[in-house]
Amino acid sequence: MDYFLELFFGGLTRGSIYALIALGYTMVYGIIELINFAHGEIYMIGAFTALIVAGVCSLLGLNLISILILAIIISMFYSAAYGYTVEKIAYKPLRNAPRLSPLISAIGMSIFLQNYVLLAQTSDFVPFPSLIPEFEFMEPVAHIMGSSELVIIVVTAIAMVILSLFIKFTKIGKAMRATAQDRKMALLCGVNVDRVISVTFIIGSALAALGGVLIASHIGQINFYIGFIAGIKAFTAAVLGGIGSIPGAVLGGLVLGWTESFATGYVSSDYEDVFAFCLLVIILIFRPAGILGRTNTQKV
């Protein structure tokens, strides 16, 4: 039973991170129907920013909690700036181009950012300090769930609650939903759609950076390539849950995290990805629009 719980919480942790990244994919897709392949790189940049912040802060002699909080806040802002800029440079000029063009542009942006970090940093894995402190009260259950796992799950849950309140109740959240449902009509209602798109990129990027900092601190090493793999997984999660749907992204992330965790635990870690992608294929056969996705029947 303990082993099962360990795998359960391991999967939950992993799934939370996938969900955080998947939210960025799904929100951008919901609004401009673009698969933002550079999103994984934003997450990677978030992790690197946190590494630099942590280095500077520990030289200044701050304690662990304040380093963690500072690292999260600064890397969220920094990644948000990246996300905003990527959209302005790579997607906005292609707003009215055929759908394939921004997709290619996204892949190009992804390759560019990867290599930019490769040149600016290093190609090796670099150790990432464990920023999340070990809590004493977690001692008795440490064999099931570590402190960092607890922190990841709690922080992710808080971020998601804030996001859904934001989208449900604020003026700009309403503007985002309106834009997702009918961009032209939103424009006619006076919504500045360009600004809504910018805000979507900013929020998605900040969430990805949050995921990046948390997971890097949990795993303990990063390199320029982590964004690609995490991006593919999070994209899978978004499709699994129904791309364009926010609860879908969260559900998809968790399902994927659990599948991987249990496959690793009960079968073999070699088969982790096999199980994950088999699941994706099976779900897409029976529900082509994803678990919570709706098949689009409108359009005149």
Q: Which residues bind other proteins (CB under 8 A)?
A: 166, 170-175, 177-178, 181-182, 184-193, 195, 199, 298, 300
CA dist list (Å): 268 to 14, 261, 265: 17, 10, 6
Q: Which is nearer to other proteins, 80 or 263 (CB)?
A: 80
Q: Which of 4, 10, 46 minimizes the C-alpha distance to 230? A: 46
Query: Is 143 or 195 the residue whose CB approaches other proteins more closely?
Result: 195
- Characterize 130-154 residue by residue with b for buried, 16 or more Cβ atoms within 10 angstroms of its Cβ, and e for exposed: bbbeeeeebeeeeebbbbbbbbbbe
Q: Which is nearer to other proteins, 157 or 185 (CB)?
A: 185
Residue whose CB is less far from other proteins, 15 or 24: 24
Cβ atoms of 79 and 49 closer than 8 Å: yes
Give me the least distance between CB of 192 and other proteins, in Å please.
Answer: 5
Least distance from other proteins to the Cβ atom of residue 235, Å: 24
Tokens standing for residue 127: 């150790």
Residues near 152 by beta carbon (within 8 Å), at least 6 away in sequence:
13, 16, 17, 132, 214, 215, 218
Least Å distance between CB 298 and other proteins?
Answer: 8
CB of residue 187 to other proteins, shortest distance in Å: 4
Q: How far is the CB of 241 from other proteins (least distance, A)?
A: 17
Q: CA torsion, points 161, 166, 168, 171, in degrees to nearest 10?
A: 170
Considering the complex, state which of residue 123 and residue 181 has its C-beta at the smaller distance from other proteins.
181
